[in-house]
Amino acid sequence: MEDAAAATADVLAALAPSWSAAVVLLSYLAYLAAAGALLPGKLVAGAVLPDSSRLHYRCNGLLSLLLLLGLSALGVYMGWMTPTVVADRGLELLSTTFIFSVIVSFLLYYTGLRSRHQSSSLKPHATGSFIQDWWFGVQLNPHFMGVDLKFFFIRAGMMAWLFINLSLLAKSYLAGSVNRAVILYQFFCGWYIIDYFIHEEFMTST
């Protein structure tokens, strides 16, 4: 019983959000915002909206991913970071990201209700039900400083999936526990993620 209680206490302690986890998360998102705006990429029109307008998306996700992989490899080589940084801080990154997500969702709900835009993307589509409006969103395509947040966060999630996997692979390698199952999992997940970014332009109309 004492061992179980101690293990539970350790997990709860590891779940506590930290400033270092916040720095990792915000640095990652800042990189994605900068890379998305500055790196070259094909400009693709999205779906036709009810008001006949169309959003346009710069599809440079693959280049952003490859550059981040290169920068991360350089950071590991130079000793600026460890390859297991995500795995080592997994639970605190989880709780920090969860808190960030909840805060952003409430901010989007509040700003969406106060929007005076008349475009299909930004005008409020409120039903009056808090749960429904908060869960499904008030605006169709919310933006922040010109960034389409739906496009931004799906890209952030897909890239994060790969970096979480690679960090766990590094931790398994250092522990000597890499086996065929681990390698196959890494291969197929990596293939899926790379394929997504190769065909990113086809996601803009979904």
pLDDT digit string (tens) for the chain, length 206 residues: 665 666 666 666 777 888 888 999 999 999 999 999 999 999 988 888 888 888 889 999 999 999 999 999 999 999 888 899 899 888 899 999 999 999 999 999 998 888 888 787 888 888 888 888 888 888 888 888 888 899 999 999 999 999 999 999 999 999 888 899 999 999 999 999 999 999 999 888 77
- Domain count for the chain: 1
Q: How confident is the model at residue 10, as a pLDDT?
A: 64
Q: What is the DSSP letter of 201?
A: G
Q: How confident is the model at residue 4, as a pLDDT?
A: 60
Specify the amino acid at residue 14: A
Domain extent for 98:
1-204
Q: How confident is the model at residue 95, as a pLDDT?
A: 92
Read off the tokens for 129: 């039900």
Residue 147: which H helix or E strand, with range? strand 147-148
Read off the tokens for 108: 């989007």
Q: How confident is the model at residue 199, as a pLDDT?
A: 92
What CA–CA distance (Å, rounded) separates 22 from 93? 7
Closest CA to 66 of 132, 162, 165: 162
Q: How confident is the model at residue 8, as a pLDDT?
A: 67
Write the CB contacts of 199 (distance below 8 Å, at least 6 apart in sequence). Answer: none
Q: How confident is the model at residue 176, as a pLDDT?
A: 87
Q: How confident is the model at residue 3, as a pLDDT?
A: 59
Q: Specify the 3-state DSSP secondary structure of 118.
A: coil
146: left (phi over 0), alpha (psi -120 to 50) or beta: left
Strand partners, 143: 148
The beta-strand segments (E) located in 8-98 are 42-48, 54-59
42: left (phi over 0), alpha (psi -120 to 50) or beta: beta
Return the exposure string of 57-82: e unless at least 16 CB atoms fall within 10 Å of the residue's CB, then b.
Answer: bbbbbbebbeebeeebeeeeeeeeee
pTM: 0.85
